[in-house]
Amino acid sequence: MPSTLTPEVRYLIDAANRGDVDAFLATFTSYQGVVDDWGRRFHGPEAIRRWSDAEFIGRQVSLNVIHFYSIDETEVVVIAQVGGNGFNGPSTFTFRVAHGKITEMRITA
């Protein structure tokens, strides 16, 4: 297991914690990125922005990484304590990555 998060995942977490929606969106593959929030799927930058504005960065999310591990070169799992003005509590974020971009961010318990 690497001792640091992959750059694209670290950048996404940092962008979310800064409240920087544009930087957050830039971590995803163009027009193919997906956020899966407990089974609700948001495809592409416009849908991800609407979701984030309503439920993530727009709610002043904070992500405190508790633990992470890599499943393989294309999948990283992050367990984080979520704070802010929306959901608060531990969540698991599973990231699929390809060519330096995030193709999917899946949020579960």
Beta strands 40-43 and 101-108, pairing class? unpaired
Encoded tokens for 71: 């499943």
Burial string for 18-37 (b: 16+ CB within 10 Å, else e) reads eeebeebbbbbbeeebbbeb
pLDDT tens per residue, range 34-84: 999 999 999 999 999 999 999 999 999 999 999 999 999 899 999 999 999
Q: What percent of the chain has pLDDT over 70?
A: 97
* Domain spanning 7-108, CATH architecture: Roll (3.10)
Do residues 109 and 39 touch, judged by C-beta distance below 8 A?
Answer: no
Domain borders along the chain are: 7-108
